[in-house]
Homo-oligomer: A and B are copies of this chain.
Amino acid sequence: MVLAQQVLLDVPGERGRAAAGVLAAATRRLIRGQVDDVRFEGQPDISLAQCAQMAADKTGALMGASTALGAVLAGAPARTVRALQEFGEELGMAFQLVDDVLGIWGDPEATGKPVLSDLRSRKNSLPVSYALSRHDHYSLELTAWLADRDCADEARLWVIAALVEAAGGRDWAEKEARRRLDRSERLLRDAKVAPSVVDELVALGRFIVSRES
């Protein structure tokens, strides 16, 4: 990140300084998001809005900076830069939602993570946070099970996964990922960007989001 910053600052003129500013802001958000991610673990009273903000900081910010930087360096109009940045932010959120679903229900052979890994670490991921926000019978049970750290055997984790799924956490996350991806594509098509670039970025976005679970 420091190296990237130096490279951008080496670009002569205003554009290099602006690009370095975009990267610096994203880096600050990335750090805040990572800190919140760990800080929120095992805290069932964190709201869905707080979790979504954490995900936007942790994943959306850097993805938004990445898709905006080229336009900044090329001296594109502010609204094009903004559209590309929003495209990246939405795509980052879609990616994070898919990542969170895989962190619970993903096949370990495909993800490289142990089965149920995000539940094992009591991560307040987006599907869990959504389920807790429902305040129905399932979320009450889920709160109780998450609070009890005594026993973390796999059978118990599957019960927690079932409570998250029954409360609609998985379905919501999958639909929300789809919605964010669709929104990112609309933002991109509305921006003044060459059609071939749009097509490439859309394909890239779909590739990132469509990992197998």
Chain A binding surface, main DSSP class: helix
Interface check A41, CB cutoff 8 A: no
Sample of 9 further A-B pairs with CB below 8 A, known A138-B162, A162-B162? A137-B161, A140-B158, A141-B155, A141-B158, A141-B159, A144-B155, A159-B162, A162-B165, A162-B167
Report A102-143 CB contacts with B as 1/0, cut-off 8 Å. Answer: 000000000000000000000000000000000001101100
Query: A71 contacts the other chain (Cβ, under 8 Å)?
Result: no
B155 and A161 contact, CB distance less than 8 A: no
A138-B158 in contact (CB<8A): yes
Most buried by B among A155, A158, A159, A163: A159
Asked if A166 is an interface residue, CB under 8 A from chain B, the answer is yes
User: Which residues of B lie under 8 Å from residue A137 when comparing CB positions?
Assistant: 158, 161
List the 8 closest A-B pairs by CB distance, nearest first: A162-B166, A165-B166, A162-B162, A162-B163, A137-B158, A166-B166, A141-B158, A138-B162
Residues in B whose Cβ lies below 8 Å from that of A161? 137-138, 166
Which residues of B are found within 8 Å of A144, using beta-carbon distances? 155
Whole-angstrom CA separation of A138 from B167 in the bound complex: 15
CA distance A163 to B166 in the complex (A): 7
A162 contacts across to B, CB distance below 8 A: 138, 141, 159, 162-163, 165-167
**B-side contacts of A155, CB under 8 Å:** 141, 144
Bits for A141-172, please: 1 = Cβ < 8 Å to B, else 0.
10010000000000100110111011100000
State the Cβ distance, A19 to closest chain B Cβ, in Å: 46
Report the minimal beta-carbon distance from A104 to chain B, rounded to whole angstroms. Answer: 11
Chain B residue with the shortest CB-CB distance to A168: B165
A137→B161 CA distance, assembly (Å): 10
Query: What residues of B have a CB within 8 angstroms of the CB of A159 in the complex?
Result: 141, 159, 162-163
